[in-house]
Structure 1
C-alpha cells in the first residue's frame, strides 16, 4: 500500500531533495541541482506564478520508504486549447504500478481543479528550467536542465502519455568551421553603416535589459503561453546573474541604435555546481568562488536567440553569429557550446542550429495526457 504525504515541514522538504540522490547514486553523469534553486520554485514569496496558480508537492511511501515524489500544479499563465495542468520534479523507482499511482494522483488532483489534461514533466514557471523528460543523451545535464534515468520513458509511455513536443539540444565545438552562409551574411551586413553590434557588458545592465526585453517581446510575440517579458523583471534577472555573466559571449545587433537581434550565452554553471552536492552555504559559496577563479569552464550554453520580425531572413543571424564567434575565440577559454533546447515546433531555429554544423547531443520530451481518452490528440502547433 502506498501512503501519500504532502510536503509541509522541514523533514518532508529534506526528503523531497534527498530522494533523487538515492536513485542516482551510481550514475556518474547525475549532477544534483542546488537545493536553494529547487526550494525557490515552491516559495510563494519568490515564485510569481503562485499569484495566478496553485502548486503542491507530494511524497509517496511504501513500507516507510520513499518510492516516489512529484510536484503538481495549475498555472493560469499556461494557456492551452483545453485547461491543462502540469506536474514536474517527478522521481520514481523502476516500478510501473508505483508510477501509475503517482500519475493517477496528479490526474485526480488536477481534475478536481477543472483541468482536462496534464503536461509533464514541466516546471511551475518558465520553460527555461526543469522542463521535459530526458530520453536521449544521458550525459551531464546543463544547469537548470532535467535529468532522469532511462526507464522513466517507459513509465510515462506505458501509462498513456503522448509526445506533445520534442526538445532538441545542439552542440558544436567553438573552433569548428562556421557555415559559409553565415560568413557571407556577415560580410554583407557589416558594410551597412546603420548596422552595429555590441557584446553585453556587466557595467551597463540597464541598457541591455531594455534591449533584451524589446527584442524578446517582438521576436516571441506570436508564441503565446505567457511569453511577454517586463523590463523591470529582466533587469532584476540580469542583476541576479551578474556574478556569472561573461562580457564576451552575449551579443546584440542594432540598426541605428535600435536593438534588432540578440544572442545570449552563459557559462554552464553545472561545471562548477557539480562539486557542491546541492548545497550553497558559506563554505560552498567560498568553494564556488575558488572554482570560478581557478577551474576553467570549457562549456557555455546558448540560452536565447532572437531576431525581430522585420529583420528576419536578411542575414542578421549570420552576421551576429560570426561576429560573436570571432570575438569569443580570442577572449575566452570556452571550447564547446550547447544550445539550450529548441522545440521541434520551431523549424526556423532548428534550421539555424543545423546551419551551424551542430550535432544533436540530447533530446527531451514534453508529454501530454488527455483526461478524455476519446478526444483527438494534437501535438504542439508549428510556429
Structure 2
C-alpha cells in the first residue's frame, strides 16, 4: 500500500475523491462541500491553527486505487484539558479492510506522538463539535447537515484497532406536522415566555457581533461545570456563521435573557444536506443557479438543531419550553419544514437528553466519539456525567 501526505493540488484531489469510491452505491450519503472541508485545513480560515497543527493523508492499494484517507490534528488549548494530552483524527474514510484502516490509524497516532500527544479521539473535527463529529453507529439514514454519515462497518474498524467509546451522541427527530406536544406544555411555555423578567430575541445579522458575544457568554456559563470545559473560541464561531450565511435563517436562532443578561440559546439551520446530495461536493458558477432553484423549490424540508444551551441557574425554570414557544410561530410560517432533528445530545448530559424527549423527540441516530490511549496499559475511563456542581461529576468506567 502507498501512503501519500496531502500537500499539493493533486493529493488534495485524491483526498476529496476517496469518499466517492466508498459511497458510490449508497443513496444516503450527501457529499460535503469540498470548499468547507478545505477551510478546515486552512490556517487562514480555521482558528484552531492558532495553537495547533493538522496533517492529512490518502492511501492507495497495490493497484493504485484509492482505498482510504485520514487527518490528524491537535489544539493545545483543548489537548491539555485531559489527563493525558489528547489530539484527534477525523475525515476518516476507508474500504472494509482492517489492514488499510490500521495503517491510517497508525499514521495519525505516530504523528500525534511526535507532537506530545498521548491519546487521540476519533473521528472528530479540527474545530467545534457541532460539525463532522463522531462515527455513526445506529440510524443509517440520510444525516442532517454537518452530522457524519458512514458505512456500518466503520465502528468495527475503530474497535478492532483499539478505540473505545468515550461517549455517545444521540439525534432525535421531531415531526413538526403532528401535535406531538400536549396543550399543557404550550400553556406552561407561554406562561414562562410572558414573565416580565424574561425577554427573547432571534438572531439578526445587523447585530451579529452582539449575538456572538451573547452566544459565548451562554455557552461558557452553561458548560463550565464540565470536567473538560474549554471556553468557546469566538473567532471559530464567527467563522462558522460567516461560512453558513447562505443557510442561516434569523428566526430559527433564539436567545433568552433574564433582566437583560443572556441565559439560554437555541440554534437550528435548514438541512443543507438535502441540496448537497444533488451537487456532488461542489458549488460552482455553473451549478449555483441550481442551488438557488432548489432552495426556492423548498427542497430543504428538515431543520437541524446545532446546539441548545441553558445557564444552570435557569435549567429548571421552563426557559427551554419558552424558547420553543417563540420558535413555534416561525415554524408555522414555514410549513415546508416538516421535521426537526434535535442533534448532538451527549450521553454525558442527561438534562439535554431529557429535554429532547420531553418535547416529543424520537431517538433516531447514535454516533460514537471514540478514544485511543497510546499507552495500552493505561486504564480507560469514559466521559464523566455532567452535573452543575464543580468537582462532583459522575465518573464512568
In structure 2, the residue matched to 1:297 is: 300
Q: Give yes or no for contact 2:15–2:69 (8 Å, CA) kept in 1.
A: yes
CA RMSD of aligned residues (A): 2.0
Post-superposition offset of 1:331? 4.3
Using the size of structure 2 for normalisation, the TM-score is 0.90
**Counterparts in 2 of 1:1-383, with a 5 A limit?**
2-63=1-62, 64-78=64-78, 79-176=81-178, 177-179=180-182, 182-223=185-226, 227-229=230-232, 234-235=237-238, 237-383=240-386
Post-superposition offset of 1:152? 1.1
Distance 1:351 1:193, change over 3 A: same
Secondary structure of the equivalent of 2:115?
coil
Consecutive unaligned residues of structure 1, counting only runs of 5 or more, are none
Size of the aligned set, in residue pairs, is 382
- Residues 41-97 of structure 1: per-residue CA shift (max 9 Å, x gap): 111111121221121111222212222111112221223110112111111111112
Post-superposition offset of 1:315? 1.1
Distance 1:378 1:330, change over 3 A: same
Secondary structure of the equivalent of 1:243?
coil
Cα separation, 1, equivalents of 2:223 and 2:29: 32
Distance 1:327 1:50, change over 3 A: closer
Post-superposition offset of 1:38? 0.8
Instruction: Decide which moves more: 99-108 or 175-184.
Output: 175-184
Distance 1:53 1:59, change over 3 A: same
Secondary structure of the equivalent of 1:380?
strand
Q: Give yes or no for contact 1:196–1:254 (8 Å, CA) kept in 2.
A: yes
Secondary structure of the equivalent of 1:77?
helix
Q: Give yes or no for contact 2:60–2:67 (8 Å, CA) kept in 1.
A: yes
Cα separation, 1, equivalents of 2:239 and 2:96: 41
Cα separation, 2, equivalents of 1:154 and 1:235: 36
Q: Give yes or no for contact 1:61–1:68 (8 Å, CA) kept in 2.
A: yes
Consecutive unaligned residues of structure 2, counting only runs of 5 or more, are 387-397
Instruction: Decide which moves more: 371-380 or 208-217.
Output: 208-217
